[in-house]
Structure 1
Amino acid sequence: MEGEEAKHVYHEKQRLQFCLMHALNNLLQEESFTRAELDVIAEKLVLDDPIKDKWTPISLIFKPHHNTLTGNYDVNVLIAALEARGKGVVWHDRRSGASSIRLAEETLLGIMLNIPVRKFGLWRGRHWVTLRKVAGVWYNLDSDLRIPKPFQHEEEVTEFLNNIISRNGEVLIILHEKPSE
């Protein structure tokens, strides 16, 4: 049943540390972003930085918004990329818990998570994951999963989000349109 339901869901799988690119494409349900486009966004963020003249040669080798070899883009690239597509990004206040996220809200496109990852008990980095409702069903579209994992009901989504929040994960609410200022 799980595989049958997921057939109509776009799901990119993990390659190197391009989890942000995969998460963005899974959110938009198509191959919308490429590595080249995200690299350009990351470089533009560097050029637009008012303190770039104070960077050391080391900080220019290890780019501030991404790893040039493996990807590993940061939240600044995520926000700039989604805003370039007219989407809104709102940081979720973890003190409110996941129950404050209105999963049925029509303005909600999806949820992006930045999760600390451990391997063999050691901190390894962070991983981007998308949760998205497709055809009335919420899915975990983690690029590390073999296939999208459907949630049985919204309470299960809330429980999952509370677990992520309790493990110091970041939750970003993604809106269909950028809010007017």
Structure 2
Amino acid sequence: MRTADYKRSTNETNIFIQLNLDESNAPDIDTTIPFFDHMLSQLGKHSGFTLFVKAAGDDPHHIVEDCGIAIGKAFYEALGDKKGIERYASILLPMDESLFSAAIDISGRPFLNFKCEFPTPATSNFESELVREFLMGFVSEARITLHMIQMEGINTHHMIENIFKALAYVLKKSVQITGDTLPTTKGVIA
């Protein structure tokens, strides 16, 4: 089983993550931020992973950013040697009026291309800019390349939820075991 537990404690946050890439159980999320809990539940549900997140902190920005970092570290650890993974995945995902293109490469090289203009600065007391902060933390520590491009969208809530669902989908597809060798000619994905 590809699993990882990760604990992050700083002067700003305390976060504990449990992740299982090969087992699908209902997400168990408590970050003290209801809308973010909903988004991480979408990530857990649609990825097909078992995701447990317990987080607290002094500020929503710190909690969201550090959850991205912690989940990224757990993801990287759970992947192990990456032997046999599909590695690449992409989707064009609709949710109501919102449409996003998401593409991932489990490359060992962190990069985020995030092109999205939210119509409002917040939804459900959640600042829209925190989505990018979460993704930056996740991509950096998971050591993946992620392109998340807005194609359509006029409702900030729908757009943010679509981003988390699209991320879940490409993560699910890219970690599937479809072979028995490392999917690279370099001999290593670091």
Instruction: Give the TM-score, by structure 1 length.
Output: 0.30
Larger Rg: 1
Instruction: Say which structure is richer in strand.
Output: 2
Instruction: Give the TM-score, by structure 2 length.
Output: 0.29
